[in-house]
Structure 1
Amino acid sequence: MEEITIKVPAPFSGVSDLGFTARYPSQPGYAASADVPLLFEGPSQPMRALLGRLRMLRQRADGPYAWTDPVMLSDEVVVMAFRDRSLVRSEKLEDGPEASRDYIQNTVRPVVFPLLQDCATVAGLMLAELIEIRVQASQQRIADLQLRLEQIVQPNGRDVLWSF
């Protein structure tokens, strides 16, 4: 599989200049899923607030996926990663439909969806009503999507990252 990037330019309510990019690294077919790094970029004040909220996502350590600890590289940049844990308990797909379903879902569903869902439901962040998603492979744009909030998660979080 070649490298794929998914950009989400402004997913959080009230902050139009804070977004993130998920980068699926190139890897051979049928290899174990590699961690998917996420790079968040935006103004320093909402980025500090976001860092604290992203740390809350570590609470989801018992499911088919987990989040690494977020690391602030500068006032305006935070990185973390999505980690597929679908086979951690069973170690093979033959262990039943739940292991197979979790593995397929983690492999096929873009990581931006569980991230946005967890940001709203676990971290309590309010997402924008319309979320733009851009998919690229080999520097070629594959898809531009605009999704309504209710197509991604319900209910929305209540907290905004930026306030005056």
Structure 2
Amino acid sequence: MDELTIKVPAPFAGVSDLGFTARYPTQEPYTPPADVPLVIEGPPDPMRKLLERLRMLRSGNARSGYLWTDPVMLSDEVVVMAFRDRSLEGATLADGHVRAGEYIANWVRPVVFPFLEDCARVAGLRLAELIEIRVQASQRQIAELHLRLEQIVQPNGQDVLWSP
């Protein structure tokens, strides 16, 4: 698989200049899934609040087939973290279709969706009502989507990130 980039420019309610990019690295076929880094950028005040909430994702759902690495603040305007597939960790043949389903979901479903779901459900962050998603490969745009919140997650979180 060639490198793929998914940009989500303004997913959080109350702050239009905070967004993130997921970068799927180039990967050879039939190799274990690589971590998918997320680079989150925005103004300093909402980024500080967001960093605290992103730490909640680390302990989110212990039974899911993925986890989030600890968020790291590179500057007052940039935080990085990664999606890690763990669907096959400790798996046995007895786990069968349950683990296989998680593995397939992690390969097929773009990480922006579990990230947004976890931001609303686990971290309690309020998402924008309309979320734009841009997909690029090899510096060329493949798709641009505009999804309503209810197409991604329900219920929405309550806490608003906003910049003065």
TM-score computed with the length of structure 1 as normaliser: 0.96
Which amino acid in the other structure matches residue 135 of structure 2?
V
- Partner SS, residue 59 of structure 1: coil
Shift of 1:163: 6.0
Partner of 1:120: 120
What secondary structure, in the 3-state scheme, does the structure 2 residue paired with 1:141 have?
strand
Question: Residue type matched to 2:149 in 1?
Answer: L
Q: Summarize the alignment of residues 34-45 of structure 1 with structure 2, pairs less than 5 Å apart.
A: 34-45=34-45
Q: Structure 2: which amino acid aligns with 1:97?
A: H
In 2, distance between residues paired with 1:5 and 1:160? 26
Question: What is the CA–CA distance in structure 2 between the aligned matches of 1:86 and 1:123, rounded to whole Å?
Answer: 22
By how many angstroms is 1:62 displaced? 3.3
Once the two structures are superposed, the pairs formed by residues 1-164 of structure 1 within 5 Å of their partners are 1-60=1-60, 61-90=62-91, 95-162=95-162
Distance in 2 between residues matched to 1:108 and 1:145, nearest whole Å = 17
Return the letter of the residue paired with 1:76: E
Moved over 4 A (4+): none
TM normalised by structure 2 equals 0.96
Residues 43 and 163 of structure 2 are in contact (CA less than 8 Å); yes or no, is this contact kept in structure 1? no
Size of the aligned set, in residue pairs, is 163
Q: Structure 1 residues 28 and 163, CA, compared in 2 at 3 Å: closer, same or farther?
A: closer
RMSD of equivalent CA atoms: 1.3
Question: 5+ residue gaps in structure 2?
Answer: none
Q: Percent identity, aligned pairs only?
A: 72
